[in-house]
């Protein structure tokens, strides 16, 4: 749903009357020794509750950065909010990866963030190894119903 009016002021407001769980996922193969953007653009207003990052073939020293980006400068409802490719929030910077577990990051926000349709959750994965890395980002989202 676009143009939602739900404006939570405390954690008690996040309940089934206003929200429904709606996890999403995006993935990409990252070339060895390269940096790759893994983008997921929201088509509806959502509450962002966290992210789970899974990487196969990672090397100790690989990193990821997590951002909210307005790629087009315009939300899905047609409202222009900023210049194209504006980073609105960076909520993880150069988070270190290890090579002995596939689940690299599993973050849950204590207070979910409302994101408007048209914004993009971006994972920037930097590979430092000599083999390609398969990365999956699972987004812990909730659809906003009001």
Tokens of 139: 């987004």
DSSP 11: G
To the question of domain 20-144 being in CATH 1.10.357, the answer is: no
Tokens of 13: 């407001």
Residue 113: name the closest of 16, 2, 19 by CA. Answer: 19
Q: Is the pTM here over 0.95, yes or no?
A: no
pLDDT tens-place string over residues 126-146? 999 999 999 999 999 989 888
pLDDT tens-place string over residues 51-84? 888 999 999 999 999 999 999 999 988 999 999 9
């Amino acid at each position: 749903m676009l143009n939602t009016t739900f404006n939570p002021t405390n954690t008690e407001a996040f309940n089934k009357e206003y929200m429904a769980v709606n996890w999403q996922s995006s993935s990409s193969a990252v070339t060895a020794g390269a940096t790759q953007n893994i983008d997921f653009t929201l088509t509806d207003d959502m509450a962002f509750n966290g992210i789970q990052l899974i990487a196969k073939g990672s090397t100790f020293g690989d990193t990821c950065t997590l951002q909210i980006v307005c790629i087009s400068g315009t939300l899905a409802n047609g409202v222009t909010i900023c210049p194209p490719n504006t980073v609105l929030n960076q909520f993880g910077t150069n988070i270190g990866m290890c090579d002995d577990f596939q689940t690299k990051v599993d973050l849950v926000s204590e207070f979910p963030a409302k994101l408007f349709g048209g914004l993009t959750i971006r994972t920037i994965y930097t590979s430092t190894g000599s083999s390609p890395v398969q990365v999956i980002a699972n987004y812990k989202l909730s659809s906003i119903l009001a």
